[in-house]
Amino acid sequence: MSTNKMWGGRFQSGPADIMREITPSIDFDKRLWAEDLAGSRAHIRMLASEGIVPRGDAETILKGLAQIEAEITGGQFAFKRELEDIHLNIEARLAELIGPVAGKLHTARSRNDQVATDFRLWVRGACDRADQGLRALQQALFAQAEKHVETIMPGFTHMQPAQPITFGHHLLAYVEMFGRDRGRFTDAKARMNESPLGAAALAGTSFPIDRDATALAMGFARPMRNSMDAISARDFALEYLAACAIAATNLSRLAGELVQWSTPAFGFVRLSDAFTTGSSIMPQKRNPDAAELVRGKTGRVLGDFVALATVIKGLVLTYGTDLQEDKERVFDAADTIELCLAAMAAMVADLTADPAKMRAAAEPGFPTATDLADWVVRVLKKPFREAHHIAGSIVSRAESQGVTLDKLPLAEMQAVEPGITGEVFAVLSLDASVHSRMSLGGTAPARIKEQIRYWRERLV
């Protein structure tokens, strides 16, 4: 059993067989190859600029890195588990290509700041991809909302019909929600956009490096100020996972509504064959599997956050191999959230609404009872609590007669409150109720059109 050449000077014998199974991370961290090459290029150029490495050697190293990139993109690079991770795999191949000069690339650098840099670069890109996915979903929701500014549907509280709203208003609520999700990824990206490179193992380096130059070369805003923090910090990954978890939770809410709305009992929307499946035994079934899977995968993303938080919570500064567990959790969450966002955007764009079913569902349950109470306050000058009691009593009479409020005879209302006049019927229809909700953010079509104009400018 031979020793690892990277640290063979200290160790006289090789690792136990089980170490060859538990130690390697190349199976998953090979996804960091592009970030590893970017960090190495920035580092060797800085070393040459500062006179730490001869420019000729730096050019040789850069040519070797270019060949490695071509091999990876062309599918010809051999990733070796015995070399443990992406960093050593690239370094070993570089040595094969250009000889001992490859070793100069590691001057003033440790695997600790190397992996921290690579990972930040990758997660920064993941924030951008999540933002793009959320924007596409917002655009799909917006397009549907624009078509349904005046499509009346029931609004629910406690899953009971509460007040009439419009489908456009409901969809724009999700546009707002996913806008906040985008803000979380934007904020996370801004906070993580500092370079750990140059922190070396944990204490910095005695070489006269230019950390500002390498940070700028990789698109970071600045170097991290403390070398120990640079090596040990994984809160950037936790913050990304937290943003993923919240976005997944919001996706789950929308997915749940699509599942509900597409049932025959509701019939508010129809999902095409592209996003539904059948049953192995019941030929009539049309199952909203895509929406159910989005809803189900939320637990997976939440688990990724909890798993990494559990790994980090007891770690002393600075580096421990425990942190090798960070990448799989982040990669899994990224793959999951990006897939769910794409699926949800496609589903929303695909759905067909049924305005007649929505309106019919908005009729039962006396959804304009609040409009009646408001009329009593506004016209009869009653305190709202008294008006609430009056409206409740009138609802009881309508319920006992099996009619909606706008079909209840005026005499029945006057038996409860003599001051009520025929003018009250002007506020008791679904359309009147919806159009009256003119407060900022309300469901009145005029207000929804304002929201449409607001979002059209931001989603182009």
Look at residue 24 in the predicted model and tell me its pLDDT: 82
Determine the Cα–Cα distance for residues 238 and 429; give it in Å rounded to an integer: 50
Asked whether 284 and 251 are in contact (CB, 8 A), the reply is no
Q: Establish whether 429 is a catalytic residue.
A: no
Asked whether 86 and 33 are in contact (CB, 8 A), the reply is yes
Pick the range with the lowest mean pLDDT from 140-144, 298-302, 365-369, 442-446: 365-369
- Kindly state the tokens that stand for 100: 């001992």
Confidence of residue 5 (pLDDT cuts 50, 70, 90): low
Look at residue 22 in the predicted model and tell me its pLDDT: 72
Mean pLDDT value of segment 243-257: 98
> Percentage of the chain surpassing pLDDT 90?
87
pLDDT tens digits for range 158-210: 988 889 999 999 999 999 999 999 999 999 999 999 999 999 999 999 999 99
- Kindly state the tokens that stand for 158: 């406690």
Q: Which of 158, 206, 280, 400 is catalytic?
A: 158
Distances (CA, A) of 272 to 75, 287, 349, 351, 414: 38, 10, 11, 7, 50
Q: Is the pLDDT of residue 361 over 70?
A: yes
DSSP 170: H
DSSP 325: G
Determine the Cα–Cα distance for residues 375 and 323; give it in Å rounded to an integer: 63
408 φ/ψ sector (left φ>0, alpha ψ -120 to 50, else beta) = beta
Beta strands in 320-416 (DSSP E): 352-353
Look at residue 279 in the predicted model and tell me its pLDDT: 66
- Kindly state the tokens that stand for 87: 């960093």
Mean pLDDT value of segment 242-257: 98
Asked whether 240 and 188 are in contact (CB, 8 A), the reply is yes
Determine the Cα–Cα distance for residues 366 and 399; give it in Å rounded to an integer: 9
What pTM, to 2 d.p., does this model score? 0.91
Determine the Cα–Cα distance for residues 274 and 159; give it in Å rounded to an integer: 29
Asked whether 261 and 269 are in contact (CB, 8 A), the reply is yes
Closest CA to 7 of 110, 119, 135, 122: 110
Q: Which of 13, 49, 262, 279 is catalytic?
A: 279
Determine the Cα–Cα distance for residues 314 and 449; give it in Å rounded to an integer: 52
Determine the Cα–Cα distance for residues 296 and 279; give it in Å rounded to an integer: 19
Q: Is the pLDDT of residue 11 over 60?
A: no
> Percentage of the chain surpassing pLDDT 70?
94
Higher-scoring residue by pLDDT: 279, 427: 427
Q: DSSP per residue over 204-241, as a string?
A: --SS---HHHHHHHTT-SEE-S-HHHHHH--HHHHHHH
Q: Establish whether 396 is a catalytic residue.
A: no
pLDDT tens digits for range 52-99: 999 999 999 999 999 999 999 999 999 999 999 999 999 999 999 999
Count the helices and strands in the chain (H runs, E runs). Answer: 18, 6
